[in-house]
Structure 1
Amino acid sequence: MKKYRTRLTLILILLIGTSMLIAGIWMATGFERTHIKELKLNLERELKILAIQEWNHSGDQESLITYYNGLVLKLEKYTGARLTYVRSDGTVLGDSDHDPHLMDNHLNREEISVALKGETGFAIRFSDTLHQNMLYAAIPILAEDGKISGVLRIGMSLAQVEASVRDFWVYVLAGMFALFGIVSFASYRIAKSITKPIEKMTRVAKQIAVHNYTTRVPVVHHDEVGQLAEAINQMSESLRSQMNQISKNEGRLNSILENMLLGIMMIDVDGKIVVVNPITETLLGFTASELVGKKYNEGMQFLPFIEQIELCKQQMNLVRDELALHYPNERLVEISVTPIGYNGEEWGGFLIVLHDITELRKLERLRSEFVANVSHELKTPIASVKGFAETLLAGALYDEETARSFIQIIYSESDRLNRLVGDILELSKIESKRSPLRLSPVHLNALVDNSIQMVAKAARQKQITLEFDAKEALYLEADEDRLQQILMNLLSNGINYTPDGGKITLTAEAFITEQIEHTDEQDWIRITVQDTGRGIPKEDLPRIFERFYRVDKARSRSSGGTGLGLSIVKHLVELHHGSINVESEVGMGTRFIIVLPVIQL
């Protein structure tokens, strides 16, 4: 921009300087021309006055030279100018500065030839005799018969005129230089006033080019440059607003992609992966940096998708399928491949959506198993009730002992059926969270004592010892009924699976640990229910909390269990934001460990 300002200043100086120079030359030329014109008029008047003298003298040439030469010498004293008298044939008969005998014929001299035609002749030329520029004026001298007998010429040196012109030029040049300085300064200021706003606009434009949309051009004047500055400011504000909106939209899109539960992968028209969200990284076991930029048909990690993508490319329509992935974990994934930007023969690539349906299929399998188990569990008591009722109706009703036995069995099976339906409904309500916790302060020691009293009769029947060990009074925030339900299920379960003469020990203790999500300390209570039963095989431990799962199915049914107790316990513990674990060894007994927070946060 400084170079532009310099060029603009030089152009202004050149234009104005050239104009000033032309004006000076025109003025000097006009001054010289006017001055010479005045001199010509003066010389012509002087010649007309001098023409009154006697110029028609007769005699031989020598006498004529003597006469005319003496006359012009006398007149020179009054005029102060060079006088020359030339006969009509061009012979010089008298000259105030030179000897006429030595002078050339003047017939071809410009001013002489014009005068011989009856007019006043003028000429400016360099005098070889005087070695300076001379202004000559000549008028015709008429004889008595009216014919031109000669020419009277007056010559005046132009040295004074030239000196005046030189002085004029000195003043003109001095004025021009002074004016040139003023013009140079003014030109620089003008150029600066034009280029400075442009410089500011250029800087702002460069800032806009590097995405700095907050910079503005200061608007001083509202001329064309000011309007251009305002237009740039408006453009910058518009770009800032648009970029902010784009950034917000991009942030929203990134937030959506990062928090989606579906894997998203976008492939461009060249087959390169351009977008990968975190869920896709988890599903494929590769980071975005390892995937983005690679072609979908390169690398082992894309082999399960290639067939689906190629099929979508052929059909140019949505393709959906389920694939089993073995890396990094065994997963069942639903893949949907959709062409994007499809318009005639033009398309912009593919959008791949990955949905991890492993848990969904597992839940479907569990649901199917649950329905099958419920049907089976309900079918058994119903079949028993129906069979014994038919037997009674067939005649056994009249045998009192047999009828009483059958009715007792019907009663037991209906009671078992009632418990089963009740547990199913309870589990359904817990899982659907339709039965929220009613939290209140609970004295754990009293609650445990009460639970032990409720199962004491069943324990005495099998001569099982029940013990409770707590070194201090413990309190926690919980749903008292639900907490008692947990303890009752575990105690009943222990009594059912502990041989006669066994022992069930229940302990409770408080401890402090740090939460994972917070830095504050959290108080916890650990409740342990340990029996001396047969124990649980190691391979069955992972499934012990599943619905209707039994280690010994025949013994479980004979003990009256529904197979839902431990599943209900696990859900109730988790509702209290706690955890439950089981430790067992065959022949040594089983221990259930429950950890609950003192305060429900």
Structure 2
Amino acid sequence: MFHSLQWRIAFFYTLLIFSTMGIVSLFLFNYIQRSYLTQVYNHLEREAMLISEAAAVNGFEANLNSLISGISNVLARANHGQEYRIAIFDGVGNIILDTESSIGNHWGTEYAVQYVSTGEGYRGKVKLTDGEELFSIESIQIGGRSVGAVIVSVPSEKVEGYINLIVATVVISGVIVGGLSITLSIYIARRTSRSIVALTMGAARIQGGDLSHRVRSHVNDETSDLADAFNKMANTIAWTVDNLSTERDTLSAVLDTMADGVISVDREGSVTVFNQTAGELLNVSPKNAIGMRLAEVIRDFEILQLASRCENSGALLHSEVEVPEVRRFLSVTATPLGFDAERGVLLTVHDLTHIRQTETSRKEFVSNVSHELRSPIASIRAMAETLEDGAIGDKKVAQDFIGRILRDIQRMTVMVDDLLELSRIESGQEVIDIHPVNLFRIANESISYVKGEINDGMPEIILNVTEEIMVMGQEEKISQVFVNLIQNASRFTRQNGLITITAKQYDNDIVEVSVSDTGMGIAPEHLAHVFERFYKVDRSRRDGGTGLGLSIVKHLVQAQGGEVFVDSVEGEGSTFKFTLPVA
């Protein structure tokens, strides 16, 4: 119970009230007792003086009736006749009058004799067998001579009764006041604690994520100011969290749409940021990477070493890394976060694979073109020199040399034409007139053209295409696709092999054409690159190709609304497929 602020306030407030009331009550009890006793003694003394004066005036030495009559008048005026005991003594101590008993023995005889002789007064307390009495004694003076004494007394139990009554009244009043004070303290504590409890519950709700919650104050005091301050703080927190959420969402969107991979690692080596691109480049799930150690996510030693060096040196570092597991070339930059990398390291990963492949392809292309051009140029030069040296006079030799020169020139012309056409297609300058065309007729004419180009060593070609299939495209471009695919298949298929051309029409208004061969096939690692320009699967072969044919096929098919694919089993053959819209 005392863990509650309300009850702690009430308890200590009540303890303070009762402690204060206890101290005040003890003081009041003593004060009331002393004051009342003093008042009683003063009354007794005054009554004794009045009676002694009345006795002297009414003839103390006259008859008893006259004396009693005068004293009764005094008592009536004082209104104490029924409370006090009055006794009158003569000069030798004999009782002349006693208001509570017949004339006889009185405990004050000795006091009367003593103070008649001195002529003085006295007040005090006397113990009797039946209790105590408070009294005051005064001498009776007549003509300057003390002739008797008056003793006015009252039982102490009557005085104590009055005192007890007063004390009881004070106690009851204190209890009432204490009860009201306790009630008031509980009420005040409850009102105060209600605001504190409201603030506590409000803080708990905000901690739980309810940033829209606000606290209402039930009283207009300091807790109201505290509630206002709390609400302002809640508004600030909500605004800050909202801004942070917006910035986080913006940053997350930026990170997820970046072309570069971004990885953030804290000082302990745990991953705090891992965007989608980084996951794709390193073949890692971004969700699983968060919270893990970098060494558990990335197995590449060079990247881990780069991050470690950046953390230790606090300097920006850069490195190009080849990751064999994912077959990628990566440019990795390690940036320290904070002074001396006190908040960790930021890794940015850029994919150089395409650039490296392009550079490699270009180098290979230059090498291939140089080789392809060098051979016919060297041949032409040799034959031209031979003719110049006199062979031109030999008609038969001259005609053979001229024929060879023309074939070499034709070969170089085809290569240049392929390069120019591929350049036009890739740049979008090639205009293609798409209209309905007959697929069977185009395929059949393409087979005839290839057979005419390759006089001997040609494998068998089977055409499984129905004559009624119509597709959308340009006849010359579709024919070029067929010619390139058939030439490519015949180049890698033995003479006793087989090339099959088929076409299927699907319900989604697409025609799929396939050119299959029983040749040497393509290794799996080359399948993803066969349609790249300048790419050759077997670079040791002298097949006369430039590595542009399949790239031209891909771009021509895509320009006519289709797609191109390849399936191959090394040692068994390959199947090239392309699609075209149905007319």
Smaller-chain TM-score bracket: 0.7 to 0.9
Distance 2:208 2:195 in 1: 20
Match of 1:6 in 2: 7
Distance 1:247 1:495 in 2: 62
Per-residue deviation at 1:238?
A: 1.6
- Residue 449 in structure 1 maps to residue 441 in structure 2: yes
Moved more, 575-584 or 241-250: 575-584
Distance 1:107 1:171 in 2: 39
Q: Could you tell me whether the CA contact under 8 Å between 2:334 and 2:347 is conserved in 1?
A: yes
Per-residue deviation at 1:204?
A: 1.7
- Residue 566 in structure 1 maps to residue 550 in structure 2: yes
- Residue 106 in structure 1 maps to residue 99 in structure 2: no
Match of 2:411 in 1: 416
Distance 2:343 2:498 in 1: 72
- Residue 342 in structure 1 maps to residue 339 in structure 2: yes
- The number of equivalent residue pairs is 561
Match of 1:190 in 2: 188
Per-residue deviation at 1:158?
A: 6.0
SS at match of 1:369: helix
Task: Give the alignment partner of residue 511 of structure 1, picking from 506, 510, 513.
Answer: 506
- Residue 528 in structure 1 maps to residue 529 in structure 2: no
Q: Could you tell me whether the CA contact under 8 Å between 2:10 and 2:185 is conserved in 1?
A: yes
Q: Could you tell me whether the CA contact under 8 Å between 1:28 and 1:169 is conserved in 2?
A: no
Distance 1:292 1:372, change over 3 A: same
Match of 1:517 in 2: none
Match of 2:563 in 1: 578
Match of 2:201 in 1: 203
Distance 1:350 1:106 in 2: 111
CA RMSD of aligned residues (A): 5.4
Kindly provide the amino acid, as one letter, of the partner of residue 568 in structure 1: I
Alignment of 1:47-58 (within 5 A): 47-54=49-56
Per-residue deviation at 1:191?
A: 1.7
Match of 2:577 in 1: 594
Deviations 1:535-573 (A, max 9, x none): 53236794765637487999854xxx6552223113434
Moved more, 282-291 or 173-182: 282-291
Deviations 1:398-452 (A, max 9, x none): 988877766665554444333322211322344x453588695x535x1442464
Distance 1:227 1:137 in 2: 67
Distance 1:198 1:383, change over 3 A: same
Match of 2:78 in 1: none
Deviations 1:471-496 (A, max 9, x none): 58445566766444323433565688
- Residue 364 in structure 1 maps to residue 359 in structure 2: yes
Match of 2:428 in 1: 434
Kindly provide the amino acid, as one letter, of the partner of residue 443 in structure 1: P
Q: Could you tell me whether the CA contact under 8 Å between 1:373 and 1:548 is conserved in 2?
A: no
SS at match of 1:156: strand
Distance 1:212 1:498, change over 3 A: closer
Task: Give the alignment partner of residue 84 of structure 1, picking from 74, 87, 91.
Answer: 87
Moved more, 572-581 or 539-548: 539-548
Q: Could you tell me whether the CA contact under 8 Å between 1:17 and 1:180 is conserved in 2?
A: yes
Distance 1:48 1:460, change over 3 A: closer
Distance 2:258 2:33 in 1: 94
Distance 1:439 1:221, change over 3 A: farther
Per-residue deviation at 1:226?
A: 1.3
Per-residue deviation at 1:305?
A: 5.0
Q: Could you tell me whether the CA contact under 8 Å between 2:211 and 2:234 is conserved in 1?
A: yes
Kindly provide the amino acid, as one letter, of the partner of residue 363 in structure 1: T
Unaligned runs of at least 5 residues, structure 1: 59-63, 513-521
Distance 1:438 1:87 in 2: 161
Q: Could you tell me whether the CA contact under 8 Å between 2:91 and 2:149 is conserved in 1?
A: yes
Q: Could you tell me whether the CA contact under 8 Å between 2:505 and 2:511 is conserved in 1?
A: yes
Q: Could you tell me whether the CA contact under 8 Å between 2:55 and 2:71 is conserved in 1?
A: no
Q: Could you tell me whether the CA contact under 8 Å between 1:55 and 1:141 is conserved in 2?
A: no
Alignment of 1:9-48 (within 5 A): 9-15=10-16, 22=24, 26=28, 33=35, 37=39, 40=42, 44=46, 47-48=49-50
Per-residue deviation at 1:195?
A: 0.9
Distance 1:200 1:472 in 2: 86
Per-residue deviation at 1:178?
A: 4.9
- Normalised by the length of structure 1, the TM-score is 0.71
Per-residue deviation at 1:203?
A: 1.5
- Residue 141 in structure 1 maps to residue 136 in structure 2: no
Distance 1:308 1:545, change over 3 A: closer
SS at match of 2:565: strand
Unaligned runs of at least 5 residues, structure 2: 76-80
Distance 2:433 2:44 in 1: 134
SS at match of 1:217: coil
Alignment of 1:111-122 (within 5 A): 122=123
Q: Could you tell me whether the CA contact under 8 Å between 2:52 and 2:139 is conserved in 1?
A: no
Kindly provide the amino acid, as one letter, of the partner of residue 342 in structure 1: F
Q: Could you tell me whether the CA contact under 8 Å between 1:138 and 1:153 is conserved in 2?
A: yes
Per-residue deviation at 1:4?
A: 1.9
Per-residue deviation at 1:198?
A: 0.7
Distance 1:415 1:108 in 2: 174
Distance 1:193 1:271 in 2: 52
Task: Give the alignment partner of residue 537 of structure 1, picking from 510, 516, 520.
Answer: 520
Q: Could you tell me whether the CA contact under 8 Å between 1:339 and 1:349 is conserved in 2?
A: yes
Per-residue deviation at 1:207?
A: 3.2
Per-residue deviation at 1:5?
A: 1.0
Distance 1:321 1:435 in 2: 39
Per-residue deviation at 1:227?
A: 1.6
Distance 1:468 1:267, change over 3 A: closer
Distance 2:294 2:64 in 1: 119
Q: Could you tell me whether the CA contact under 8 Å between 1:264 and 1:280 is conserved in 2?
A: yes
Q: Could you tell me whether the CA contact under 8 Å between 1:68 and 1:94 is conserved in 2?
A: no
Per-residue deviation at 1:236?
A: 1.8
Q: Could you tell me whether the CA contact under 8 Å between 2:440 and 2:469 is conserved in 1?
A: no
Percent of paired sites with the same residue? 22
Distance 1:457 1:320 in 2: 55
- Normalised by the length of structure 2, the TM-score is 0.72
Task: Give the alignment partner of residue 490 of structure 1, picking from 485, 490, 494.
Answer: 485
